[in-house]
Amino acid sequence: MALFNHTPVLLKEVVGRLTPKPGGRYFDGTVGGAGHAEAILEAIGPTGRLLGCDQDGAAVEAANERLARFEGQFEIRQLNFVEVGDWLDQGSFDGALLDLGVSSHQFDVAERGFSLRWDGPLDMRMDQRIERTAGDLVNELPESELGRIFWDYGGEPGARAVAKAIGRERGVGRIDSTLQLAGLVERILPRRGRIHPATRVFQALRVAVNDELRRLEEGLGLMWSLLRSKGRLAVITFHSAEARLVKQFGRRLSRGYRVDGDADLPAFRQPAPVELRWMEKKAIQPTRDEILRNSRARSAQLRVMEKL
Ligand SMILES: C[S@@+](CC[C@H](N)C(=O)[O-])C[C@H]1O[C@@H](n2cnc3c(N)ncnc32)[C@H](O)[C@@H]1O
């Protein structure tokens, strides 16, 4: 297979907080190129065990190759992290990691359709079982729905203008390639600095195609259920919509009450045990050095929670 290129972000920070211990049991829900998984396996030694998954078959293959020297100590399956409930025992892990989003490898392979730099089909599916590609959404969704996606999932201020321009263009013919869409957005949104003006639109489409936010919401609860007491969950997010879900999840379990009914009003609150402790109040961000070495790290934020 093609060389799998991905530099793990915040590696020292993740290992320093998950503190993988000899003989421990860890789960990596987004194995990717297995950079984090490898560091965890090194720390847990021959009696430890790492289980993991990735929804992308190419990542699973690359991870198995990279981790070959730890044979017998790990197992990686091609699954979405929301699908691991039947496989894994609840309350049995010392730590779990979600390093969200896309790997550099996925960006680098033009045919996967994630990249603004190389021409490819507008695909963006991390898992080939997903039915609708980014091209299907761009060509078939109503303009209003596209505008909502660009705003909600990309925070794109020009969301409506881009959606309108797509509407005009597809009246002439299908929008099928990454560079065709990138060029169209560039004609609508002015270029500022080095970041391509279509970056947010591409991110938003990717989030929609892979249903990333709903999966994350579900996945956080599932990862939490895998942990034993004192187990830690580390989550690396790359944009504000993801970060918001992680903060809300942590807040719900650390505030000492649950809400009975729809509204979070004092009258609806019932006392509930505090289940979670944040390792740090603020998200951990990469150092200047790391960003200079790996520009993909620039938007990364790490949050770590401990189960009480
Ligand atoms: C940023 S990369 C992970 C890199 C990895 N930590 C490493 O050290 O190489 C994110 C990976 O998560 C996978 N992924 C994203 N969402 C997923 C989900 N819901 N279930 C399973 N895998 C997912 C992607 O396919 C991608 O390979």
Q: What is the DSSP string of 110-175?
A: GGG---SSS--BS---SSTT-S--HHHHHHHS-HHHHHHHHHHHH--TTHHHHHHHHHHHHHHS--
How many other C-beta atoms are found inside a 10 Å radius of the C-beta of residue 192? 7
Matching residue, tokens 């580390």 = 234
What is the spatial distance between Cα 276 and Cα 298, in angstroms, rounded to a whole number? 28
What value does the mean pLDDT of the chain take?
A: 95
For residue 35, the ligand 1 atom closest to its alpha carbon is 8
Q: Which CATH number fits domain 11-105+212-307: 1.10.275.10, 4.10.490.10, 3.40.50.150, 2.70.70.10?
A: 3.40.50.150
The residue count of the chain comes to: 308
Q: What is the per-residue pLDDT for 6? A: 85
Tell me the pLDDT band of 195, cut-offs 50, 70 and 90: confident
Q: What is the CB < 6 Å shell around ligand 1?
A: 6, 8, 29-30, 32-36, 53-56, 59, 80-81, 99, 101-103, 126, 215
Instruction: State pLDDT tens for residues 22-50.
Output: 999 999 999 999 999 999 999 999 999 99
Instruction: State pLDDT tens for residues 160-187.
Output: 999 999 999 999 999 999 999 999 999 9
For residue 127, the ligand 1 atom closest to its alpha carbon is 25
Q: What is the per-residue pLDDT for 152? A: 95
Q: Which CATH number fits domain 131-209: 3.30.70.890, 1.10.940.10, 1.10.150.170, 1.10.260.30?
A: 1.10.150.170
What is the spatial distance between Cα 161 and Cα 177, in angstroms, rounded to a whole number? 20
Whole-prediction pTM: 0.94
What is the spatial distance between Cα 163 and Cα 175, in angstroms, rounded to a whole number? 13
Pairing of strands 276-278, 269-271: unpaired
Domain with CATH 1.10.150.170 in the chain: 131-209
Instruction: State pLDDT tens for residues 279-307.
Output: 999 999 999 999 999 999 999 999 999 99
Cα separation of the two ends of the chain: 43
Structure tokens at 301: 């934020």
Instruction: Output the residue whose Cα is nearest ligand 1's atom 9.
Output: 33
Q: Which of 28, 78, 126 to mutate to test the pocket of ligand 1 (most atoms within 8 A of CB)?
A: 126
Domain with CATH 3.40.50.150 in the chain: 11-105+212-307
CA of 25 to the centre of ligand 1 (A): 19
Instruction: State pLDDT tens for residues 207-264.
Output: 999 999 999 999 999 999 999 999 999 999 999 999 999 999 999 999 999 887 777 7
